[in-house]
Amino acid sequence: MSILTAPNAVEALSALAHGARLDVFRLLVRAGEEGLPAGEIARRLDTPANTMSTSLAILQRSNLIRSRRDGRSVIYSADYGAFSELLSFLVEDCCDGRPEVCSRLANVVGSALSCAADAGDLGEKQ
């Protein structure tokens, strides 16, 4: 059961349904918990600061990213929890009525996440 409501999910999907914003989100996912300052994100993705600010605001409104101020900079980072909730929302329906089809999703997502096992903390962790 996901915590996300359908409207929340639509907002998150809308935020990601845009080439530039998807690039931002993926950059932040790769950047990890420490995140990146807005200006650095704009520079790396070669986007005007005001346009990037709008993109960041849309992603933040959807809860997929967070921000914190650090001096003159505003640091953005991916919200992995919210991202997980979105993924849960997307996959939860496969279990309603047709659990047998879930296995394909489970296998594919599981292998895509095999690095989690490589990192040595899938479930048990150290």
Select 38 or 64, whichever has its Cβ closest to DNA: 38
95 touches a copy of itself (CB under 8 A): yes
28 touches DNA (CB under 7 A): no
45 touches a copy of itself (CB under 8 A): no
With beta carbons less than 8 A apart as the criterion, state whether 78 and 64 touch.
Answer: yes
Site for DNA (CB under 7 A): which residue of 49, 87, 101, 116?
49
* Per-residue interface string for the shown chain with a copy of itself, residues 59-88, x marking contact by CB under 8 A: ---------------------xx-xxx-xx
Residues that bind a copy of itself (CB under 8 A): 2, 6-7, 9-10, 13-14, 16-19, 22-23, 26, 29-33, 80-81, 83-85, 87-88, 90-110, 112-119, 121-123, 125
